[in-house]
């Protein structure tokens, strides 16, 4: 009897109606159902697919969208603008240094470096190939470069492949060029003739899928970019329907029931449209009516601007650089440009150091037969000064050099060398050699000696 009563109690408990507030509101318990800490939302908004591997889509996307080209080209152009790369070395004379700078420009070496950086941003990997008269499949003989042909070919990771191995470990690369023929056979190139530039650094799992290369910069902007493209498409559809002509035809239903009713209605609408467009007048029956509906675009421009801000934030580019509109209100845009300059240094200039050193050393071997052991790329500040600010800086430097000369801290020859390095006054090697390297005599002491002599 006792067992039966307990069973009856459980049965009554199952049929009990719980009308508590907690159950009614379905409050979260222990954070399991709390959307603020549940990772399901984040997981549902991620994708295991890699846009970087879809290189054809990236190519056509780069071709189709102007602001995408701007996002890639602008940051590279800004890094090298106004002769931003400084080539200097103590092991070269002034004349040799000028010859090296001119050779880098005349042979397109700087342009090749910039193209390699562009393709690294777009595809996640850029490649630079040293094109010489030697056999491509053999290691590069650096001692046999002086006076010989040397050019640099810029490519991307898909045209010059590391044969399924990480580019750091590959012993050779396969360069495919189908511009002159329809064959897809490639040229085997030894790794000593190849320098690489990787895109956005990827963790190991993704790096294994990318064969050791980096990510495209567009990998992280897919959500805001989809919003932007969708907004542009919706705007285009709204523009097509911005103004709708409404023609109210008397006895329209009866006309459509007649044998030629549809043709009559279509012809009548065509006549109305033609007269309105070309003659700015409409002829209709007194029982007919005409109206025009116009769609309101209120709120749409503000929404598009906010989406553009999201795209710029994902690209880490200022709004003025991508969409060409400056700061508004009390903002001068200086903070945005300073942040952008920091990104140029961290994403382009610093990662390109080894690539630039490789190119400059090979060019020096081709010109002078020796490498620059002390060469390290230096860069001009990205902040562009006005002519007045630049003149004030030059005047301050000149005054400092003169003061150091008068206090016998620097010799006249050292001052001439510093003025040449700064580009304020250019002295040739012969002129510098003829300048005294001794400290200037103290003019005050010299006058005293002459007076008491």
Write out pLDDT tens, residues 3-52.
Answer: 555 555 545 555 555 555 555 555 555 555 666 777 777 788 788 889 99
Looking up tokens 């029931």 gives 257
The answer as to whether 423 is a domain residue is yes
pTM recorded for the entire structure = 0.73
Same structural domain, 218 and 268: no
Give the residue ranges of DSSP H helices in 345-386: 353-367
Q: How many domains does the chain have?
A: 3
Least confident of 91-95, 246-250, 283-287, 446-450: 446-450
Same structural domain, 216 and 247: no
Which domain range does residue 251 map to? 243-294
The answer as to whether 310 is a domain residue is no
Domain end marker among 262, 294, 326: 294
For the segment 119-131, the average pLDDT, to the nearest whole number, is: 95
The answer as to whether 332 is a domain residue is no
The answer as to whether 253 is a domain residue is yes
Q: Which of 291, 126, 137 minimizes the C-alpha distance to 217? A: 126
pLDDT score, position 31: 54
Query: Three-state DSSP class for 232?
Result: helix
The answer as to whether 403 is a domain residue is yes
Query: Three-state DSSP class for 85?
Result: strand
Percent of the chain with pLDDT over 90: 33
Same structural domain, 67 and 185: yes
- Is residue 197 within 8 Å of 352, Cβ to Cβ? yes
pLDDT of 416 > 80? The answer is yes
Domain end marker among 294, 328, 357: 294
Please provide the distance, in angstroms rounded to a whole number, between the alpha carbons at the two ends of the chain: 140
pLDDT of 69 > 70? The answer is yes
pLDDT of 430 > 70? The answer is yes
| Tally of CB atoms within 10 A around 353 | 12
For the segment 241-270, the average pLDDT, to the nearest whole number, is: 78
pLDDT score, position 56: 92
pLDDT score, position 451: 47
Same structural domain, 164 and 276: no
Highest mean pLDDT among 100-114, 336-350, 366-380, 381-395: 100-114
The answer as to whether 104 is a domain residue is yes
């Amino acid at each position: 009897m006792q067992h039966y009563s307990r069973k009856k109690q459980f049965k009554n408990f199952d049929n009990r109606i719980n009308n508590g507030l907690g159950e009614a509101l379905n409050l979260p318990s222990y954070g399991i159902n709390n959307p603020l800490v549940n990772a399901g939302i984040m997981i549902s908004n991620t994708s295991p697919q890699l846009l970087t591997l879809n290189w054809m889509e990236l190519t056509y996307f780069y071709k189709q969208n102007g602001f995408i080209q701007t996002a890639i080209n602008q940051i590279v152009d800004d890094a090298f603008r106004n002769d931003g790369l400084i080539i200097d070395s103590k092991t070269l004379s002034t004349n040799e240094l000028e010859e090296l700078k001119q050779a880098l420009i005349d042979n397109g070496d700087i342009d090749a470096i910039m193209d390699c950086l562009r393709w690294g941003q777009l595809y996640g990997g850029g490649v630079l190939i040293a094109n010489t008269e030697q056999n491509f499949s053999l290691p590069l003989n650096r001692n046999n470069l002086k006076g010989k042909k040397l050019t640099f070919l810029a490519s991307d990771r898909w045209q010059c492949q590391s044969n399924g191995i990480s580019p750091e470990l590959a012993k050779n690369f396969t360069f495919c060029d189908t511009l002159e023929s329809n064959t897809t056979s490639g040229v085997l190139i030894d790794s000593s003739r190849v320098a690489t530039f990787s895109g956005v650094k990827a963790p190991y799992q993704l790096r294994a899928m990318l064969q050791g290369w980096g990510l495209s910069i567009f990998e992280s902007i897919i959500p805001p970019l989809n919003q932007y493209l969708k907004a542009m498409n919706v705007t285009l559809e709204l523009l097509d329907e911005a103004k709708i002509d409404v023609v109210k035809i008397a006895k329209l239903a009866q006309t459509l029931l007649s044998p030629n009713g549809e043709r009559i209605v279509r012809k009548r609408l065509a006549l109305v449209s033609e007269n309105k467009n070309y003659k700015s007048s409409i002829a209709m029956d007194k029982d007919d009516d005409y109206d025009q509906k116009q769609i309101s675009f209120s709120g749409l421009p503000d929404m598009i601007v906010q989406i553009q801000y999201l795209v710029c934030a994902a690209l880490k580019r200022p709004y003025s650089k991508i969409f060409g509109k400056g700061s508004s209100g009390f903002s001068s845009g200086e903070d945005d440009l300073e942040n952008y300059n920091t990104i140029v240094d961290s994403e382009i200039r610093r990662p390109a150091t080894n690539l630039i050193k490789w190119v400059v050393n090979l060019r020096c071997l081709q010109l002078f037969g020796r490498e620059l052991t002390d060469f390290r790329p230096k860069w001009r500040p990205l902040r562009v000064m006005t002519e007045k600010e630049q003149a004030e800086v030059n005047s301050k430097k000149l005054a400092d050099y003169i003061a150091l000369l008068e206090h016998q801290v620097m010799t006249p020859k050292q001052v001439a060398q510093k003025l040449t390095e700064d580009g304020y006054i250019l002295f040739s090697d012969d002129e510098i050699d003829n300048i005294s390297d001794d400290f200037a005599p103290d003019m005050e002491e010299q006058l005293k000696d002459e007076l008491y002599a």
